Amino acid sequence: MGRKFYRTCEDLKRELGATEALEIINYLEPKLEERQQQLIQIIRIKNYAEIARYAHKTKGSIHYYGTHTLSNLLDKLINVEYNSELINDDFIDLINAEFNFILHYWRNCKNR
């Protein structure tokens, strides 16, 4: 089963038109990269209150342009204080992979 986006490339182009959709994607791409880098950095420090805060902030900012999978991973981080053993290299790899998948999807959308 493929990953499900809240809003697809086609949705964005249909709602906004091709030109405005491209502008949004060009705006989002560096923001997503920044969120990914900052979130991973915070996770590695293992400051659980900060992880939860930043995961919540990230979830709000990627809601329409992310995947349900990333949203679920962020939900786990929001509640990390109650499940601190969750933070390990495998979990970090999952988050990185999901961000990379999303970035790849939106980059391909620009080229359609």
Whether residue 77 lies inside any domain: the answer is: yes
Q: Is residue 54 packed enough to be buried (19+ CB in 10 Å), middle (13-18) or exposed (0-12)?
A: buried
Whether residue 31 lies inside any domain: the answer is: yes
pTM metric for this prediction: 0.88
The CA angle 14-108-39, to the nearest 5 degrees, is 100
Whether residue 106 lies inside any domain: the answer is: yes
Whether residue 2 lies inside any domain: the answer is: no
Residue pLDDT, tens place only, 21-39: 899 889 989 999 999 999 9
Whether residue 93 lies inside any domain: the answer is: yes
Return the pLDDT at 2: 55
**Which residue numbers in the chain have pLDDT < 50?**
1
Which DSSP state fits 83?
Answer: -
The CATH number of whichever domain residue 89 belongs to comes to 1.20.120
The total domain count for the chain is: 1
